[in-house]
A and B are shown apart, each in its own frame.
Chain A
Amino acid sequence: MSDIRLDAIWKKFGATEVIRGIDLTIDPGEFVVLVGPSGCGKSTLLNLISGLETLSSGNIFIGGRKVNDVPPRDRDIAMVFQSYALYPTKSVRDNITFGMSVRHIPRQVQDAAVAEFAGLLHIEDYLERKPAQLSGGQRQRVAMGRALVRKPDVFLFDEPLSNLDAKLRIEMRTEIKKLHQRLGKTVVYVTHDQIEAMTLATRIAVMDAGHIRQFADPFTVYDDPVDLFVAGFMGSPPMNMIEGKLRQDGGSFVECGAPGAELRFPLPEAMARRVAGHDGLAVILGLRPETIFAAGSELPGPDRYCFELPVAVVEPTGPDTMIVFEIGGRDLIARVRPQDARPQGTRFRFEVEMRKAKLFDAASGLRL
């Protein structure tokens, strides 16, 4: 098992800076997910780790060895690509053993390795077929087999599940997690799907515009986002962002909505203490959909706030129903139990659990 250390790395393509000074330390055996919107540099970062791109500046260490000038094949890594990138003229078996045959590993060793991983990945029935004769899920398994079979220290995954249909994606997600638990190798995994990131990672690096905004375990990233970007990116449906002003008159409130019809969200004590002395500050109140529910549908607790607004749209998802409503012209989403939903147009009494609210500075976007 190897650790990976990125030390102040930059990548420029001509005048465009794709990676802008990233430091990252990945512990041995960790499953790190790089997540972010398209164009944030996450795939480039993965290619830099693999050696498929050259650094503009900085250092990369894999297992304590500086690999800036080491070509991909000597980095002891394996990679799974979004397009699978199987060799179309080779059979499944030859696809899997290509890396070993290039390295002149004896035939018996190759066959033993194929036998070991074909069973693990359930591909033993079509080892002699060509990639074109396989379904998407089967190709995905072969691509994983090709990576696993060389038993490298580090696995790199570049959006491996995005070409699969929704059901297969969930299935393969679980299998990848199982494989990681079983093999315990260091994994760096790129995806734009925040649910994949949450479910797979031991730690998530949320990237934006060539920077890492936050690097923490999934629970922290979800529950304790450092800024508006991370808060808005993680979670589906996304966190509700309500613009407002901080008011400190007989308690701390966030005042939102059109003049005359303002809502005053009371801040819990701990949060109020943090923002003391900032009366009138422009803030953004972040409320995850699951923290807004039908009034009285949960056991009463401290720091609750109730308000009444008309229902704009009702979206049933099965286990929950999303109710869309408006504050100050912005659509917000509440996640209620299906039996609490009311038809569009009726007034609905919402209850907010303010202890789970996040408060951001509107100017800097940072968490308050």
Chain B
Amino acid sequence: MNRRQIDGIVRRGGPWQAVQRGVLFAVLALFCAYYLVPLVVMISTSFKSLDEIRLGTLTSLPQAVTFEAWAKAWGSACVGVRCDGLQPYVWNSVMMVVPAVALSTFLGALNGYALTKWRFRGADVIFALILFGAFIPFQVILLPMARTLGVLGLAGTIPGLIMVHTIYGLAFTTLFFRNFFIGVSDGIVRAAQVDGASFFGIFFRIILPMSLPAIVVTLIWQFTQIWNDFLFGVAFTVGESNPVTVALNNVVNTSTGVKEYNVDMAAAIIAALPTLAVYVLAGSYFVRGLSAGAVKG
């Protein structure tokens, strides 16, 4: 239901209702603050100088705004022994996320299409097995996967990490696309078959253009998952090839020198910005796509 439809519904009036609404909004405001205060503290701290942090309180706003901490976090903070800031690791993450998201989304779409529109014997069993991947605790597969990457010669490299993320993303991407395609009329595929299109012809020319909402949801989901991943990053990459999440940990957990809270906060925000940006840019699609079963062909 959209807003206008709900607005039209007749509601009970009177003072008691007004009190109830007041309480409702107060509770919502409280939750909102609870959620947002840490972010506010992070942002304000990142703009303070170290002296100001030492003298002021946690929640006080910066007196003299400075971008030094941001510059240091981006360009010169020490990650381990290397002092180039987060910049190279952000690029590592980008190099890893883009192919991993694209591959897992494409393969998920192909799986979902084959599982729903080209029903074959055992399709349900195969889907159940793929779905099982969504429930595997990833710690379990660390050792066998490390061995596999070693055999393939991909240990400690970004391509190796791309492969791991693609494989373990398939469970979710397949699920998303399967649920979307189940709502797409089989008649369209049959019509295209009679028209003479092949398996891939129908996929690329008819089905993919129809599934924009599902593609956007899957892209956002996969991007967030893979960008934010720490476990695979720390397990399957070394030093130079670390993704930004691992580098952030190394910046924050460094045991030498003074604890630079402003740099830590700025670094954390830098690491989180891309996922925030994706939500802001494609958020409306995300909400629409989550109820994608309702999208008619």
Q: Do A and B bind each other?
A: yes
Judge whether B193 and A72 touch: CB under 8 Å.
yes
Other-chain residue from A50, A79, A89 in contact with B210 (beta carbon distance below 8 A):
A89
- Give chain A nearest CB distance to B181 CB in angstroms: 13
Chain A residues within CB distance 8 Å of chain B: 50, 52, 71-73, 77-79, 81-90, 98-99, 102-103, 146, 150
B195 closest partner in A (C-beta) = A99
Complex-state Cα separation, A52 to B194, whole angstroms: 8
Other-chain residue from B190, B201, B209 in contact with A85 (beta carbon distance below 8 A):
B190
Judge whether A78 and B194 touch: CB under 8 Å.
yes
Judge whether A79 and B194 touch: CB under 8 Å.
yes
A interface footprint on B164-199 (CB within 8 Å = 1, 0 otherwise): 000000000000000000000101101111111100
A77 proximity list for chain B (CB < 8 A): 194
Complex-state Cα separation, A73 to B192, whole angstroms: 9
Given contacts A52-B190, A79-B190, A102-B201, contact A85 B185 (CB under 8 A): yes
Other-chain residue from A50, A73, A86 in contact with B196 (beta carbon distance below 8 A):
A73
B297 closest partner in A (C-beta) = A88
Question: Taking the complex as formed, is B206 at the interface, i.e. its CB lies under 8 A from any CB of chain A?
Answer: yes
Other-chain residue from B187, B197, B296 in contact with A82 (beta carbon distance below 8 A):
B187
Complex-state Cα separation, A84 to B195, whole angstroms: 13
B211 closest partner in A (C-beta) = A89
Complex-state Cα separation, A78 to B188, whole angstroms: 14
Chain B residues within CB distance 8 Å of chain A: 185, 187-188, 190-197, 201, 205-206, 209-210, 296-297
B187 proximity list for chain A (CB < 8 A): 81-85
Judge whether B191 and A146 touch: CB under 8 Å.
yes
Judge whether A98 and B195 touch: CB under 8 Å.
yes
- Give chain A nearest CB distance to B97 CB in angstroms: 28
- Give chain B nearest CB distance to A353 CB in angstroms: 46
20 residue pairs A–B, Cβ–Cβ below 8 Å: A52-B193, A72-B194, A73-B196, A79-B191, A79-B194, A81-B190, A83-B185, A84-B187, A85-B185, A85-B187, A86-B188, A87-B191, A87-B210, A88-B296, A89-B206, A90-B209, A98-B205, A99-B195, A99-B196, A103-B196
B206 closest partner in A (C-beta) = A87
B297 proximity list for chain A (CB < 8 A): 88
B201 closest partner in A (C-beta) = A102
A72 proximity list for chain B (CB < 8 A): 190, 193-194
B188 proximity list for chain A (CB < 8 A): 85-88
Other-chain residue from B191, B196, B197, B210 in contact with A81 (beta carbon distance below 8 A):
B191
Complex-state Cα separation, A15 to B128, whole angstroms: 24
Judge whether A85 and B191 touch: CB under 8 Å.
yes
- Give chain A nearest CB distance to B203 CB in angstroms: 13
Among B185, B196, B209: residue with most chain A CB under 10 A: B196
B201 proximity list for chain A (CB < 8 A): 102
- Give chain A nearest CB distance to B197 CB in angstroms: 5
Complex-state Cα separation, A52 to B193, whole angstroms: 8
Given contacts A81-B187, A82-B187, A85-B188, contact A98 B210 (CB under 8 A): no
Judge whether B194 and A50 touch: CB under 8 Å.
yes
A52 proximity list for chain B (CB < 8 A): 190, 193-194
- Give chain A nearest CB distance to B216 CB in angstroms: 15
Among A78, A82, A85: residue with most chain B CB under 10 A: A85
- Give chain A nearest CB distance to B200 CB in angstroms: 12
A83 closest partner in B (C-beta) = B187
A97 closest partner in B (C-beta) = B195
Given contacts A81-B187, A83-B185, contact A89 B209 (CB under 8 A): yes
Complex-state Cα separation, A50 to B193, whole angstroms: 10
Known: A88-B210, A98-B197, A150-B195. 19 other contacts (CB 8 A): A50-B194, A72-B194, A73-B194, A73-B195, A79-B191, A81-B190, A82-B187, A85-B188, A85-B190, A86-B191, A87-B191, A87-B206, A87-B210, A88-B188, A88-B296, A99-B196, A102-B201, A103-B196, A146-B191
Complex-state Cα separation, A146 to B188, whole angstroms: 12
A83 proximity list for chain B (CB < 8 A): 185, 187
B205 proximity list for chain A (CB < 8 A): 98, 102
- Across chains A and B, which 8 residue pairs bring their CB atoms closest together, nearest first? A85-B187, A99-B195, A73-B196, A85-B191, A89-B209, A81-B187, A102-B196, A83-B187
Complex-state Cα separation, A50 to B210, whole angstroms: 25
- Give chain B nearest CB distance to A102 CB in angstroms: 5
- Give chain B nearest CB distance to A117 CB in angstroms: 15
Judge whether A102 and B210 touch: CB under 8 Å.
no
Complex-state Cα separation, A235 to B190, whole angstroms: 33
Other-chain residue from B193, B206, B209, B296 in contact with A73 (beta carbon distance below 8 A):
B193
Complex-state Cα separation, A85 to B190, whole angstroms: 8
Given contacts A85-B185, A87-B206, A89-B209, contact A102 B190 (CB under 8 A): no
A86 proximity list for chain B (CB < 8 A): 188, 191
Complex-state Cα separation, A99 to B188, whole angstroms: 13
Among A50, A83, A84, A90: residue with most chain B CB under 10 A: A83
Judge whether A102 and B194 touch: CB under 8 Å.
no
